Chain A
Amino acid sequence: MNNSFFEVIGLCKNFGGIQALNDINFFIEKEKITSLIGPNGAGKTTFINLVTGIFPPDKGKIYFRGENIAGLSAHLIASKGIGRTFQLEELFLSMTVLENVMMGCHARTRSGLFRCGFRISSARKEENFIREEAMGHLQLVGLEKKFSHPISALPLGERKLVGIARALAMKPKLLLLDEPVGGLAAHEIEKLINLFFMLLEKGITLLIVEHNMPFVMSISHRIIVLDGGSKIGEGFPEEVKMNKKVIEAYLGKEVY
């Protein structure tokens, strides 16, 4: 048993001899914003993929609300309350905006093949419930007017919002955001910051993977720094800014 909200212990992952993650240990505080930063190839996205079960870790444990979820398949982890967004959105392109967000409700609903096929009243009720939930989450990100648009008609900023609304529709306890502000303009980033603080008030814990340093420094309660698959620093934003190893990783070593 483990009492922390979310904790990883000794997490390792190799991809054919390349050590993507090497003995990672850290914890996330409940209802706080924790950021995971590091240069390209540091293993940040790999970390998210391990936590959400896209592939299993080679070694190590991932405790989420007292339970070891390492090695479980992705759909089970999703139903335990871990939602995520993607660096490249990964939206369902053949569906409308609303249908994308409705997909987020999948793990919370139950109707099976025959109930849906014969349109049994319980399935119809559930379908209405899903639709309302999805509309609610679209309103939260301010896209309710575009619910019937195809994804291809949206600009990048709005696609990121659809991704977030879709993850929120899962009613996650922990939300993993993979580069949520990558490629966004300043005013869009500001809107997202407001949204994230609102989510915090709703009791959702956030783990943000990001490159944009001003954004990370302004929003995070704690920061974890990865480089080359290992953790090289951790702490409050001010501490991390002063950390010698972190500065080296980002700016390079001093040459004498």
Chain B
Amino acid sequence: MINKPLLSPLSWIIIAMLIALPFITSSSYILMVMVFVAIHGTLAIGMAILLEHAGIFSLAHPTWFGIGAYVAGILSVRQIVSPSFGVAFSAGVVALISYLIGAPILRLRGYYLACATFALLLIVEMSLGQLGSLTGGYEGLMGIPPLSVGTFTVKTDTQYYFLSWTLCLGCLWFLSNILNSRVGRAIRSFRDSEVASRSMGVDIPKYKLQIFVLTSVMAAIAGSIFCFYIRFTMPGMFGFPLLVELLTMIVIGGGRTLYGPLLGSFITIWLRELIHLYLGKIFPVMKAEVDAIFFGIIIVLILIFIPQGFAGGLERFFHSRSKAFARFQRAGK
């Protein structure tokens, strides 16, 4: 099966390492980068489900992330609701919007859907910039308070680290359960054969809309936590560059496995940090361009040598190893 149960011994070790990390290092830089890994990982996992499993070519993921961040941010800057309600509220708003937009546009297929969702991305990014009095315009929304639940305020990097990783692994767990269930099989089936899927009794528009809204809401929650963490949002953060970054993560990690995009997020974000750290001295002025060149080269290399991404490559490696081992055992008998 493609989607093996997630909680293998290896995943327990990884979870233990993630829990131990803040106790090993007190460097707020490492924790900050890891928060970004978790938040981008949540986005990339959701987007990969749409692209690779459901066959929904939606490019609007940064938009749901952005709307989530802005709704939570605006509500708490203006002190309309407390930040924790802001998270719930932004999830609700995005659920409603993605439902209303998804119902008509998910009837489009392939490139047409990609065009429509890309247009949505541009429209929302531009609107966020133009609605100056509400959103703070292109300069961004300032003065977002930290997340607080009752009297408890989530302030430190360690606290955000645990919060974001709980969200990320929670989403991973939820989506893994879905993919290995009746609903998940239905979602995977229409990419393989739409006629067969319908003949088996699958209501395709219903399931497309469900998975679309679900992953959008996950992106929105990630967005609201992100805005409380960095205490500032800007329309440019939720546009084309983020889209490219998410696609890079999916390609590098491998979208056919569920944890692949998370691995991709980890590799992409740390790689970018390392590039900035070491190459910043050599090319001090052109950071974004250096990024683009390096990621371009890496994506080309990955597409040539491990087209299923790192996760897909790992699975194949272990698979061939276990096969070789079985052969070896048989030969021994």
Q: Which A residues are closer than 8 A to B by beta carbons?
A: 52-54, 73-75, 78-79, 83-84, 86, 90-96, 99, 102-107, 109, 111-113, 116-119, 123, 126-127, 130, 148, 166, 170
Q: Which B residues are closer than 8 A to A by beta carbons?
A: 1-2, 174-175, 177-178, 181-186, 188-189, 191-193, 195-204, 210, 214
Most buried by B among A75, A93, A95, A148: A75
Task: Give the CA-CA distance A182 to B214 in the complex, in Å.
Answer: 43
Task: Give the CA-CA distance A6 to B223 in the complex, in Å.
Answer: 55
**A109 and B199 in contact, given A92-B189, A94-B2 (Cβ under 8 angstroms):** no
**A104 and B174 in contact, given A95-B192, A123-B181 (Cβ under 8 angstroms):** no
**A52 and B182 in contact, given A92-B193, A148-B1 (Cβ under 8 angstroms):** no
Task: Give the CA-CA distance A72 to B203 in the complex, in Å.
Answer: 12
**A79 and B191 in contact, given A117-B174, A118-B177, A130-B182 (Cβ under 8 angstroms):** no
Q: List 11 A-B contacts (CB under 8 A).
A: A83-B199, A92-B189, A92-B192, A94-B2, A103-B202, A106-B200, A106-B202, A107-B201, A111-B181, A116-B178, A123-B182
User: Are B183's CB and A90's CB within 8 A?
Assistant: no
**A126: B residues at CB distance < 8 A:** 182
**B183: A residues at CB distance < 8 A:** 111-113, 116-117
Minimum CB–CB distance for B195 against chain A, Å: 6
User: Are A54's CB and B201's CB within 8 A?
Assistant: no
Task: Give the CA-CA distance A94 to B204 in the complex, in Å.
Answer: 17
Nearest A-chain residue to B181, judged by Cβ? A116
**A170 and B201 in contact, given A99-B1, A113-B214 (Cβ under 8 angstroms):** yes
**A95 and B185 in contact, given A75-B198, A78-B200, A103-B200 (Cβ under 8 angstroms):** yes
Nearest B-chain residue to A82, judged by Cβ? B199
**A102 and B185 in contact, given A75-B202, A79-B201, A170-B200 (Cβ under 8 angstroms):** yes
Minimum CB–CB distance for B192 against chain A, Å: 4
**A91 and B196 in contact, given A78-B201, A107-B201 (Cβ under 8 angstroms):** yes
Interface secondary structure of B, over-half rule: helix
User: Are B196's CB and A109's CB within 8 A?
Assistant: no
Task: Give the CA-CA distance A78 to B1 in the complex, in Å.
Answer: 26
Minimum CB–CB distance for A112 against chain B, Å: 7
**A75 and B201 in contact, given A99-B1, A99-B185, A130-B182 (Cβ under 8 angstroms):** yes
Task: Give the CA-CA distance A78 to B198 in the complex, in Å.
Answer: 8
New contact pairs (17) apart from A102-B185, A103-B185, A170-B200, CB-CB < 8 Å:
A52-B199, A74-B199, A75-B198, A75-B204, A90-B196, A91-B196, A92-B193, A92-B197, A95-B185, A99-B185, A109-B182, A111-B182, A113-B214, A118-B174, A119-B177, A123-B181, A130-B182
**B204: A residues at CB distance < 8 A:** 75
Task: Give the CA-CA distance A73 to B197 in the complex, in Å.
Answer: 12
The 3 closest A-B pairs by CB, nearest first: A107-B201, A78-B201, A116-B181
Task: Give the CA-CA distance A106 to B196 in the complex, in Å.
Answer: 12
User: Are A84's CB and B199's CB within 8 A?
Assistant: yes
Minimum CB–CB distance for B240 against chain A, Å: 30
Task: Give the CA-CA distance A83 to B200 in the complex, in Å.
Answer: 7
Task: Give the CA-CA distance A118 to B177 in the complex, in Å.
Answer: 7
Task: Give the CA-CA distance A55 to B144 in the complex, in Å.
Answer: 53
Task: Give the CA-CA distance A96 to B3 in the complex, in Å.
Answer: 11
Task: Give the CA-CA distance A95 to B178 in the complex, in Å.
Answer: 15
User: Are A78's CB and B199's CB within 8 A?
Assistant: yes
The 8 Å CB contact of A113, one of B193, B197, B202, B210, is B210
Task: Give the CA-CA distance A33 to B251 in the complex, in Å.
Answer: 51
**B193: A residues at CB distance < 8 A:** 90-93
Minimum CB–CB distance for B183 against chain A, Å: 5
Task: Give the CA-CA distance A117 to B185 in the complex, in Å.
Answer: 13
Minimum CB–CB distance for B190 against chain A, Å: 9
Minimum CB–CB distance for B319 against chain A, Å: 12
User: Are A127's CB and B185's CB within 8 A?
Assistant: no
**A74: B residues at CB distance < 8 A:** 198-199, 201
**A118: B residues at CB distance < 8 A:** 174, 177
Task: Give the CA-CA distance A73 to B174 in the complex, in Å.
Answer: 30
Most buried by A among B178, B191, B210: B178
Task: Give the CA-CA distance A49 to B196 in the complex, in Å.
Answer: 11
Nearest A-chain residue to B196, judged by Cβ? A90
**B210: A residues at CB distance < 8 A:** 113
**B203: A residues at CB distance < 8 A:** 73, 75
Task: Give the CA-CA distance A12 to B238 in the complex, in Å.
Answer: 52
